[in-house]
């Protein structure tokens, strides 16, 4: 219990409650995140709805997919047949859904952290109550237990959602490899 309390207080100090008011999913509004993923050889950025895959260390090597499902390689538009356009659309839409879901999970995780911090404050208040009244540690533990269980359940649900996110990412990677195989203009360096 003591370690949990210290961890919760630390979260509270590192994550001011004034920030909690800004916890809104902005992905649907501007879709501009900068780098949303960085791998061994590639960065994936999102700028004003355009998905940009850039080769690390080489700013001119890039593949862009616009929200209109246009494909550009090194700033030159690639003409797509219907099947290729469908793969580009599936990759783009899947990537946007993945980014949105990841953002929502991050926000929900922050909310759970804030709930944990509030529980930590309640525990601190309980300690003071024990000092100045006949309130004892068993009563404090009972008061905190239900709220802690609720936070734990929310965290478990969040973990399940994160596992679903992994499955989404694997599906998107499969679509990307199909897209790369079917569209020869996509350079060999472009791997996710």
The reported pLDDT for the residue numbered 8 is 37
Write the CA distances from 23 to 26, 27, 105, 106, 107, integer angstroms: 9, 12, 11, 10, 6
Q: Give the start-end residues of each E strand in 56-121.
A: 62-65, 71-73, 76-78
Higher pLDDT: 161 or 8? It is 161
Write out pLDDT tens, residues 10-61.
333 334 333 333 333 333 334 555 566 566 677 888 888 899 888 877 767 8
pLDDT band of residue 120 (cuts 50, 70, 90) is confident
The reported pLDDT for the residue numbered 182 is 95
Are the beta carbons of 42 and 55 closer than 8 angstroms?
yes
Here the tokens at position 174 are: 């499969």
The reported pLDDT for the residue numbered 28 is 37
Write out pLDDT tens, residues 143-179.
788 888 888 898 899 889 888 888 898 999 899 999 9
The reported pLDDT for the residue numbered 119 is 84
Write out pLDDT tens, residues 85-98.
999 999 999 989 98
- Indicate the SS3 state at residue 8: helix
The reported pLDDT for the residue numbered 81 is 97
pLDDT band of residue 3 (cuts 50, 70, 90) is very low
Higher pLDDT: 168 or 126? It is 168
Separation of alpha carbons 192 and 45, rounded Å: 13
Higher pLDDT: 134 or 39? It is 134
The reported pLDDT for the residue numbered 19 is 36
User: Is a pLDDT exceeding 90 seen at residue 102?
Assistant: no
Q: Which residues of 16-53 are buried (b: 16+ CB within 10 A; e: fewer)?
A: eeeeeeeeeeebeeebebeebbeeeebbbbbeeebbbb
């Amino acid at each position: 219990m003591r370690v949990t309390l210290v961890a919760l207080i630390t979260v509270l100090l590192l994550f001011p409650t004034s920030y909690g008011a800004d916890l809104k999913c902005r992905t649907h509004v501007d879709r501009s995140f900068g780098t949303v993923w960085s791998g061994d050889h590639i960065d994936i950025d999102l700028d004003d709805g355009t998905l940009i895959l850039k080769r690390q260390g080489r700013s001119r090597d890039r593949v862009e997919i616009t929200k209109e499902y246009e494909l550009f390689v090194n700033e030159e538009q690639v003409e797509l047949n219907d099947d290729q356009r469908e793969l580009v659309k599936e990759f783009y839409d899947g990537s946007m859904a993945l980014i949105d879901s990841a953002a929502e999970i991050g926000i929900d995780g922050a909310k759970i952290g804030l709930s944990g911090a509030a529980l930590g404050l309640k525990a601190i208040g309980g300690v003071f109550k024990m000092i100045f009244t006949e309130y004892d540690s068993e009563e404090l533990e009972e008061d905190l237990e239900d709220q802690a269980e609720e936070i734990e359940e929310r965290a478990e649900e969040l973990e399940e959602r994160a596992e679903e996110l992994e499955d989404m990412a694997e599906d998107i990677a499969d679509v990307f490899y199909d897209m790369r195989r079917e569209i020869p203009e996509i350079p060999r360096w472009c791997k996710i």
